[in-house]
Structure 1
Amino acid sequence: MDETAKPLRIPPEMAIYAEKHDIFDLVQTLVTNLMVDKPEDPIQYLIVLLKRGSVEVPRVMLLGPPASGKRTVARKLCEHTQVIHITDSNILKEDTDLTKKALQYKAKQQDIPGDLWIKLIQQRLSKIDCVRRGWVLEGIPQTREEALSLQEAGVAPNHVVLLEAPDAVLIERSQGKRIDPVTGDVYHVTFIWPEDKEVVQRLEHQKAVSEEQLVAQLMQHHREVHALRKTYRNCLKGIDADQPHVDVFDQVCCGELLEAVSADATNMGELIKPYLESGQQVPDSMVLQILTERLSRLDCTTRGWVLHGFPRDLEQAEKLQESNFIPSRVFFLEMTDDVAIERVTLRSIDPVTGERYHSLYKPAPSPEVQTRLQFNPKDSEAQLLQQLKEYWANASSLQDLYPEAVHINADQDPHTVFESLESRLVGRLQNDS
């Protein structure tokens, strides 16, 4: 150091300029991200952050019990959003000193120490591809201890999706799996079967764990899931995985559209936030503006879209048509009010395990579980009757607007309903072609 050099004098105008243009906040944000992510190339990392500006990339944790469809949903989500798919197996494929150390434990059939595992995850997420495009962590974390360690390491998701399904369904799903050796995609003889005959011919049996092993894994999941819910309660969304995988994906990808908009630092986000926070209905004009913007994006224009529960009335439907977003197929799922009341008002959840129950279809397995079950206030009969009243008040006008709509009996098991929808959809596609 040159001791003869004069001290650097910063003119007071610089501080005023920095304050006016939020430079102090910018530097603090950059340094915070730098210290949390600890990238291998800090200069390139900072350049990416500056270019990205205020746009927040997706950081998603996709959790759930074995056989809940995490791999299928994660792959579709990454394909849809172009984010990086991270699994425990591809983390260990990195050519680094840390992975070499971890593989030594695997070679000895020993568990990788928790602190080393967290460093491996942090190392992978700090790479430029994850920083620039975002990431989906599939099946990570599995325990509350792992979740807290990730938080301490600065790995914080902006969305946590928890797939849920009854144990009986998961055990059934674990059997009959098939794998495509070319793409690695997983299929099932009952739930997911490829349409391409060439793919069907090359499918191979996937080695499945025994029912005893699966039950043990499910019990482990139930022991941890409540704690994981608490850890990520501010950004967690539970999704019923006991439905067609396309519906699960639609809920994962599109179910939080309004909430995602409200979280953005945009004028529209600020406008709709008070409605969502107070539980009020967002005005139609705002919903249409958000919806048409979303349907105009490239993925919807090239691949198509599915609207669930919208439009709710004739005015919404007409405004949707005026915006030139006209559905090519419309389905009405139908059941009596008594069946709807029975399905909704009798369902509950175990706050300890996260397991869902129904007084008729899936009662609690013991008096101990029964006493701690909780019911969602939104599932009350009074609220449901009001929703049904509003639906039937608008149903006939919507049916008149869509005279070619297909009516499906929804008072059946989910798989039968899905098959009915699929058969009508495939038939319509063949006729269109």
Structure 2
Amino acid sequence: MRIILIGAPGTGKGTQGIFISERYNVPKISTGDMLREEVYLKTKIGLIIKNIIAQGQLVPNKIVCNLIKKRIQKKDCINGFLLDGFPRTIKQAIYLSNINFKIDYILEFIVPFHTILERISGRRVHTDSGRIYHIKFKPPKIQNKDDITGELLTIREDDKIESIKTRLEEYKKIHDPLINYYINLHKIGHIKFFQIDGTNSVSLIHKKIEKILNK
């Protein structure tokens, strides 16, 4: 079972990706997580990525594709995998096809941009552990402090409002061509393509996904 999750930042791909990974026993591969890990480790490529993200720009295809290729060739991906945040462009989609990894399902999450802005700008993170909070939907017990360590929470550079707006504008430019590419593959029977309303409750979305993947 090889699955791709598509959607703008803040549409719930990460949450649903965890559910799918655990429910169907396939590794969840998040380009965002991989990029942040490079930044956290302060690798040479991580420093480049940090500057790009801080400007609200998308990380170049070459960097992302190389990281993805290495990851999906690992042993735990033999029986399938879940890609969260990749591909984002036509070039990345074609790249994935060219390295002969057949995709079974495309799940696109749809959420209005004003809702996305509220979701992302309210995120707060405990840097060392990766624990994520939200000032409205999942607030910490003590304002702006991690529940376990009591340390101050931070806002990721790419979660700041101006950065989010820039990312969403970039996403608009690349979204339609990518979706049309996969819709065309769906029409000729190469993949199964589904759109999911990301504003529904988490449990309702779980049921929708199970209905799709259990067919």
TM-score between the two structures when normalised by the length of structure 2: 0.73
Distance 1:115 1:107 in 2: 15
Return the match for 1:105 from 45, 56, 79.
45
The CA distance in 2 between the partners of 1:62 and 1:227, in whole Å, is 16
Bigger Rg, which one: 1
Secondary structure, counterpart of 1:243 in structure 2: coil
Aligned to 1:243: 200
**Aligned amino acid, residue 122 of structure 1:** K
TM-superposed deviation, 1:240: 0.9
Deviation at 1:225? Answer: 1.4
Using a 3 Å threshold, how does the CA distance of structure 1 residues 179 and 107 change in structure 2: closer, same or farther?
Answer: closer
Residue pairs, 1:199-278, within 5 angstroms: 201-202=147-148, 205-208=153-156, 209-233=159-183, 234=186, 235-252=192-209, 254-256=210-212, 260-261=214-215
Deviation readout 1:187-215 (Å, 9 max, x if unpaired): 43434569xxxxx8338644153322211
Give the aligned length.
Answer: 189
Shift in Å at residue 117 of structure 1?
3.5
Decide whether aligned partners of structure 1 residues 79 and 187 sit closer, same or farther in structure 2, where only a CA change above 3 A counts: farther
Unaligned runs of 5+ residues in structure 1 are: 1-57, 95-99, 195-199, 262-433
Relative to structure 1, the CA distance from residue 77 to residue 164 in structure 2 (aligned partners, 3 Å threshold; closer, same or farther) is same
Deviation per CA, 1:157-208: give whole Å up to 9, x if none.
21111111111111111232244678645343434569xxxxx833864415
Shift of 1:218: 1.0
Q: Equivalents in 1 of 2:94, 2:103: separation in Å? A: 12
Residue 332 of structure 1 corresponds to none
| SS of aligned partner of 2:107 | strand
Matches of 1:211 and 1:184, distance apart in 2: 20
- What residue in structure 2 maps to residue 131 of structure 1? 78
1:109-151: CA deviation from partner (whole Å, max 9, x where unpaired): 478763454233122112111103x211111111112111111
Unaligned runs of 5+ in 2: 53-57, 141-145, 187-191
Q: What residue number does 2:143 align with?
A: none
Q: Secondary structure at the match of 2:78?
A: helix
**With CA pairs under 8 Å and 6+ residues apart, which has the higher RCO, 1 or 2?**
2
Residue 72 in structure 1 maps to residue 11 in structure 2: no
> C-alpha distance in 2, partners of 1:249/1:205?
29
CA separation of 1:174/1:119 partners in 2, compared to 1, >3 Å: closer, same or farther? closer
Q: Does 1:159 align with 2:105?
A: yes
With over 3 angstroms needed to count, the CA separation of the structure-2 counterparts of 1:176 and 1:76, relative to structure 1, is same
The alpha-carbon distance between structure 1 residues 183 and 77, as it changes in their structure 2 partners (threshold 3 A), is farther
CA distance in 2: counterparts of 1:183 and 1:247, whole angstroms: 29
2:107 touches 2:195 (CA, 8 Å); kept in 1?
yes
